[in-house]
Structure formats: structure tokens, C-alpha cells
């Protein structure tokens, strides 16, 4: 038995401070130097929206940055609410495009920078990322919409605008600010979600340490889980190829999971040799999987390790709060709980703090019983 464990993978979380200027540089017009856009969505679209207070967290982060920046910057938040949990549900795609157009209009009207924090759902990622990264070739850096993403995965943590142009003279930016605020090499977005290469690096080190070779990758397919089939494919391929330091590993299976299916039947083949199951799911579905497989003989004998990865992981404390919400239901996971390893991420150079104030920050719908 493994006794259950939490593995932390170092990761650099980027803080994007867009170029801001002193208030006295603004000659009339809108004095807002920074506009934040945020998209609200229905609680039914994910357990995260029931547990976390995203709006409160947003203001807390902005105020923290603002308090440490001199002179203090002015900013304006804009909130848009979208129904639907998929692009087809209640015409979410069409409404999302309308919202992006509105953000674009606001960006052109203000004298400062405009940033989208989001989107909140992974199903929105491709549409939003393409819209922002393509930009418009005739606009200056200040007239573009930027993005800080906490749910969308990208190949690297930064995305450059597709078209980069030199200085644009006929912009709305005052002449005194032009040299500071137009940059031919600015980026369109940053992603706080762990990159695939970081995930694989951590997995490879763990697998090599224990000498595990035969691996199955199980990934969630649901509205809440988002579209992570490509992530599962990339992880399976990279583990199978290996690198100079670790691997290659034998990826014997790649399997879709969904709520309500017979998970124990997936491990029913007694002739199948398996050392590790990598679960790419939300903690809610992971709990369902663990509960249904706790009596499988290989699990009871401690022959299979179960490594859980939250696909949208960007911070240990958030992932563990989701797990705490599940575990406080008091369900006995028995042997499967002993085989569980939770792999998550901390910013580079930091250490895990079990008494972190983040655990004390609860949403209006969140009640914990100690």
C-alpha cells in the first residue's frame, strides 16, 4: 500500500503587469488605465463555481497588486453573465462572440489597457484564445484585448499575437504615452494552468522513482471536465517516447471516463498487468472512480497506484480545497484511498503551508465541519 500521498510539482505562475503610466500623463478623456473583463457562468456548469467565490478572489488579487504599485492605478471591472455549459447549450457560442465584440468596443474607447480574466469554462478556450491571439493587424498594443487565463491550457505559458506590427501613429493613445505603450513584441495572453511538459516531467520523475512501467491514462469526458482528450493523448505520447532522463514507459491503455459508468469493470481483466492509473479528472469524478474500484483485487492488494491530476491545475491549495470538499462527505474509500497519489503544483521556490490562509477563504455557499 502507498498510504496516500500528495506530490507537488514546481511551476512558475506568471504575474502579468501590463505597462501602466502615471495619471498625469493622461490628457483628458477616460482616466481608467486598466479595465478587467470577467465572464460569470451558471453554478451547474461545475463544482468549482459552487465552492469558490471567483468574483471575490478577482478583487482580492487586483487590490493586492494595486496596493503594491505606486502610484495607485485606477481600474474598472466589467462582468458579463453567460448561460449554458457547452458552446451549443443555450447558444453559448453566439453569446460569447457577442461578449467578445463588446469587450473589443470597450477596449477601443478607453485610454488604458483591457484584460480578460478567463474564460471560466474550458469549452470556451479555443474560441476565446483564437479571437484574442489573432487580434487586428491595424491596431496598436494598447488597443488590443489581452488575456490572463486560469482554465485554458496552452503549449507554453505565453501566447504571442499572430500579427505583430510596428508603431501605429493614428491611435487613440496620447503622444506622450505612445512610446511606452506600443510594442511590436507584446504577448496576447498568459496561461496560469500547468503546461503539459511540466506535468509529464513530474509524472516521469515519480514513475521512475518507484520503477513503475505499465501505465493506463483515464480521462474525463463531461461538461464539467471540459475537453481534455487531447491532453490525455499528449501525456500518453510523451510518456511512451520518454526522454534522456526517464522512460520510455509502457502506456497500455487510454480510456475515457464519465460519471455514472461502471468504473470497476475497467479493471476486470485479470490478465492485464498494470502498475499505475493516471486519472485526469475533477476530484468529484475521481472520488466516484475510487469508490467503485475499492474492492477490485489488484487495488486491495496495493498493486496499482492511482495518480490524480486536476486538468486545470494551477495551484495546490485550490485543488486540495476541491478534494477536501469531497472527502468531508465521510465516504470510506478503503484500499483505493491508500493507493491514491494527488499530484499538484506550487509556484517555484515556495513550500506547502498546511495552515495557509487560502484554506480559510470560503465562498458564501461553502460550509466546512471540522
pLDDT of res. 2: 57
Q: Which residues of the chain have pLDDT under 50?
A: 9-31, 164-184, 363-370
Cα separation, 172 vs 145, in Å, equals: 15
Residue 117 dihedral angles phi and psi, to the nearest 5° = -100, 100
Output the CA–CA distances (angstroms, integers) from residue 176 to 21, 171, 179, in the order listed.
10, 12, 7
Q: Nearest CA to 314 among 205, 207, 190?
A: 190
pLDDT of res. 5: 62
Output the CA–CA distances (angstroms, integers) from residue 123 to 100, 160, 223, 284, 313, in the order listed.
15, 21, 8, 19, 16
Q: 196-342: what fold?
A: Rossmann fold (3.40.50)
- Residue 118 Rama label (left phi>0; alpha psi -120 to 50; beta): left
Cα separation, 34 vs 62, in Å, equals: 11
The architecture that CATH gives domain 12-164+185-191 is 3-Layer(aba) Sandwich (3.40)
pLDDT of res. 27: 37
CATH 3.40.50.2300 domain locations along the chain: 196-342
pLDDT of res. 155: 61
Bridge partners of 217? 254, 278
Output the CA–CA distances (angstroms, integers) from residue 311 to 123, 314, 369, in the order listed.
13, 9, 27
Burial 72-96 (b: 16+ CB within 10 A, else e): ebbbbeeebebebbebeeeebbebb
Over the stretch 233-263, which tens digit does the pLDDT of each residue have? 989 999 999 875 677 999 999 999 988 899 9
Cα separation, 120 vs 262, in Å, equals: 30
For cell 470560503, the residue is 362
Cα separation, 259 vs 1, in Å, equals: 27
pLDDT of res. 130: 84
Amino acid at each position: 500500500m502507498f498510504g496516500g500521498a500528495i506530490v507537488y510539482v514546481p511551476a512558475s505562475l506568471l504575474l502579468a503587469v501590463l505597462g501602466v503610466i502615471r495619471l498625469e500623463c493622461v490628457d483628458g478623456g477616460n482616466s481608467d488605465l486598466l479595465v478587467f473583463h470577467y465572464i460569470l457562468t451558471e453554478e451547474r456548469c461545475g463544482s468549482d463555481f459552487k465552492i469558490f467565490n471567483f468574483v471575490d478572489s478577482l478583487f482580492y488579487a487586483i487590490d493586492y497588486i494595486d496596493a503594491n504599485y505606486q502610484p495607485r492605478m485606477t481600474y474598472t471591472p466589467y462582468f458579463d453573465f453567460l448561460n449554458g455549459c457547452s458552446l451549443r447549450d443555450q447558444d453559448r457560442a453566439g453569446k460569447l462572440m457577442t461578449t467578445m465584440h463588446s469587450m473589443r468596443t470597450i477596449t477601443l474607447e478607453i485610454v488604458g489597457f483591457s484584460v480578460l480574466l478567463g474564460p471560466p469554462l474550458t469549452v470556451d478556450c479555443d474560441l476565446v484564445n483564437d479571437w484574442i491571439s489573432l487580434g487586428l493587424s491595424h491596431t496598436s498594443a494598447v488597443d488590443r484585448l489581452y488575456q490572463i487565463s486560469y482554465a485554458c491550457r496552452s503549449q507554453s505559458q505565453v501566447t504571442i499575437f499572430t500579427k505583430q506590427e510596428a508603431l501605429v501613429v493614428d491611435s487613440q493613445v496620447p503622444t506622450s504615452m505612445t512610446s511606452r505603450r506600443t510594442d511590436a513584441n507584446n504577448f496576447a495572453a498568459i496561461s496560469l494552468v500547468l503546461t503539459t511538459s511540466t506535468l509529464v516531467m513530474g509524472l516521469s520523475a515519480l514513475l521512475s522513482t518507484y520503477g513503475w512501467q505499465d501505465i493506463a491514462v483515464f480521462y474525463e469526458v463531461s461538461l464539467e471536465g471540459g475537453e481534455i482528450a487531447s491532453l490525455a493523448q499528449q501525456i500518453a505520447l510523451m510518456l511512451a517516447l520518454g526522454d534522456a532522463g526517464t522512460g520510455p514507459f509502457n502506456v497500455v491503455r487510454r480510456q475515457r471516463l464519465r460519471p455514472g459508468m461502471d468504473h470497476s469493470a475497467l479493471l476486470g481483466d485479470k490478465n492485464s498487468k498494470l502498475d499505475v492509473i493516471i486519472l485526469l479528472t475533477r476530484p468529484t469524478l475521481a472520488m466516484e472512480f475510487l469508490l467503485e474500484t475499492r474492492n477490485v483485487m489488484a487495488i486491495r492488494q496495493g498493486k496499482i497506484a492511482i495518480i490524480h491530476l486536476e486538468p486545470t491545475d494551477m495551484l495546490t491549495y485550490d485543488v486540495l480545497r476541491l478534494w477536501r470538499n469531497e472527502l468531508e462527505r465521510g465516504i470510506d474509500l478503503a484500499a483505493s484511498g491508500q493507493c491514491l497519489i494527488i499530484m499538484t503544483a506550487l509556484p517555484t521556490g515556495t513550500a506547502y503551508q498546511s495552515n495557509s490562509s487560502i484554506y480559510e477563504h470560503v465562498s458564501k455557499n461553502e460550509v466546512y465541519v471540522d
